[in-house]
Structure 1
Amino acid sequence: MHTDDGVTTIGGRHRALRDQVLTEIRQRIVNGDYPPGQRLTEERLAADFGVSRNPVREALRVIEAEGFVTMTPRRGAVVSTPDIETISDLFAVRASLEATAARIAAERASPADIADLRSLLEAARKATDEADFSTVAQLNNDFHTRVIAITGNRWLVSISDALYLHVHWIFRLGAADRAPHSWVEHIRSVDAIEAGDPDRAEAEARAHLHAAAIAAVANAVAD
């Protein structure tokens, strides 16, 4: 935060530091570096990031509200474990959002848009073959958000921003089993979008999400 004389205040720096810590902790959870059930102490996180405990404490409050950690008596913050209800609720929203996005994308996608999607599919195939599941999870997110962006519908884009942090997280937890099937299903979705067939694109999106939901729930039960 800058005052009229151009001086950056301590409060402004503090908020920026909190946001940096927040981004880093969130990313480590989503990427699986902090797995479900891991305890995250303020002391350890502060030492890891070279900051005081205050920005860590503030970041953990935000992440708790987002559902990534659970605060427990005497243990502090523990990385949440997505349960069946959470997963089902997420996929219920995705089914509506992504089916709509696929339908609109089939009506609006340009040749350049299709080329972008094909490029993401090829990268996902390669990462899957190399068992690079962190990259596969990121590419999965990139694919779905790219389809949404193609719609040009700002409401869909706005809704998806927060949603896809959780999509990435849940996909990453089961990526080793799910990845080989996911990118093949994505190919069928892109084929339908490229064909300009809204009904088929919507049907492929729903079929993909149905399969993904079953896999995610099975993974949660196994854990």
Structure 2
Amino acid sequence: MTATSEPTARPRRPRHPDSDGTPRGSSAGRAERAAQRVTELIESVPPGSRLGTKEELRTLCEVSVGTFNEALRLLQARGLVTVKPGPGGGMFSAEQSPMVRLGNSVLALDARQNDVADAVRIRDALDPLLIEDALWHASPADIAGLRRHITAMEHAVTAADPVAFVHANWRLHAAIASISPNALLSSLYTHLLDLIEGHTLSVLPASEQPLGEYIAHRHALHRDLVDALDRRDRDEALRLISEHNTTLAADEDPAARR
């Protein structure tokens, strides 16, 4: 065909999309399939198992270096693999499990999952002490600061962003802890929050209830808690913090409560 002739080439064969709608021939599609192949390998071995070197797994997946690096990024973002350098290093199945619950979601944790579960239990036990201190010691400026965190939680609800909601929630509780004149109590609580946040990989759905509805309910509960602190309503504040820590199904493990 010359440069001036009408294009009469046969039509292109359409590329079949992957399950997520990504064309199979695209780089993103190849990376997703490579990630899926490694995921299948992960599911066949115990947590913490060595999967092989990056080059061995790239060869197994039959993709280019760039495509495999993208697949590795997907796997790490999902908390499925860890990469260890040096002799004996390589890619390992992550020692992680969804241990800490946020209503109908779970916080997927890294290898410190047992530490985090213990931290949540201790944090829940300390909440009433910090509420008592906040009832006595919160200044108008403190209450205004708490309301800013409530607003951040509201924005996360509106944006349907459970990750932002969880982090705004933690910042609210850290601000309540900072009101306490008991430096040891405040420091311990803040350390527990840092441990939980530092080892949380993601927020994942875990039940039939829409996650948006649940975080909206939790936002309202925390808003009411701050209102009770502002009114110095001890009975209501303690009732709300009890509800905060006991609103999960009775058959759930309390050690896994968010």
* TM-score, length of structure 1 as denominator length: 0.58
Answer whether contact 1:105 1:147 (CA < 8 A) is retained: yes
In 2, the alpha carbon distance for the partners of 1:172 and 1:145 equals: 20
* Residue of structure 2 aligned with 1:120, choices 144, 149, 174: 149
Q: 1:42 to 1:170 in 2, by over 3 A?
A: closer
**Which amino acid is the alignment partner of residue 133 of structure 1?**
P
Q: 1:105 to 1:201 in 2, by over 3 A?
A: same
Instruction: Give matches, 1:72-151, under 5 Å.
Output: 76=92, 78-83=94-99, 86=114, 89-151=118-180
Answer whether contact 1:34 1:79 (CA < 8 A) is retained: no
Q: 1:200 to 1:158 in 2, by over 3 A?
A: same
Pairing 1:201–2:237 present: yes
In structure 2, the gaps of 5 or more residues are 1-75, 101-112
Pairing 1:182–2:224 present: no
Structure with max Cα Rg: 2
Q: 1:92 to 1:42 in 2, by over 3 A?
A: closer
In 2, the alpha carbon distance for the partners of 1:126 and 1:81 equals: 29
Q: 1:108 to 1:171 in 2, by over 3 A?
A: farther
* Residue of structure 1 aligned with 2:181, choices 152, 172, 191: 152
> Which has the larger displacement, 75-84 or 142-151?
75-84
Q: CA deviation at 1:94?
A: 2.3
In 1, the alpha carbon distance for the partners of 2:200 and 2:242 equals: 18
> Which has the larger displacement, 124-133 or 175-184?
175-184
Pairing 1:165–2:207 present: no
Q: 1:199 to 1:96 in 2, by over 3 A?
A: farther
When the two chains are superposed, the root-mean-square deviation of aligned CA atoms in Å is 3.6
Task: Kindly indicate which of the two structures has a greater share of residues assigned to helix.
Answer: 1
SS at match of 1:131: coil
**Which amino acid is the alignment partner of residue 174 of structure 2?**
T
Q: CA deviation at 1:82?
A: 3.9
In 1, the alpha carbon distance for the partners of 2:78 and 2:194 equals: 15
- Cα offsets for 1:121-174 (capped at 9, x unmatched): 112101211122332122111000000111122112221233113544669525
In 1, the alpha carbon distance for the partners of 2:99 and 2:77 equals: 17
SS at match of 1:173: strand
**Which amino acid is the alignment partner of residue 194 of structure 1?**
D
The structure showing larger relative contact order (alpha-carbon pairs under 8 Å, at least 6 residues apart) is 1
In 1, the alpha carbon distance for the partners of 2:218 and 2:173 equals: 11
**Which amino acid is the alignment partner of residue 156 of structure 1?**
L
- Cα offsets for 1:156-204 (capped at 9, x unmatched): 2221233113544669525872422221110111111111123332221
Identity rate, percent: 23
Q: 1:158 to 1:181 in 2, by over 3 A?
A: same
In 2, the alpha carbon distance for the partners of 1:209 and 1:131 equals: 23
Answer whether contact 2:84 2:91 (CA < 8 A) is retained: no
Aligned residues: 159
Task: Kindly indicate which of the two structures has a greater share of residues assigned to strand.
Answer: 2
In 1, the alpha carbon distance for the partners of 2:172 and 2:181 equals: 15
Pairing 1:192–2:228 present: yes
Q: 1:182 to 1:171 in 2, by over 3 A?
A: farther
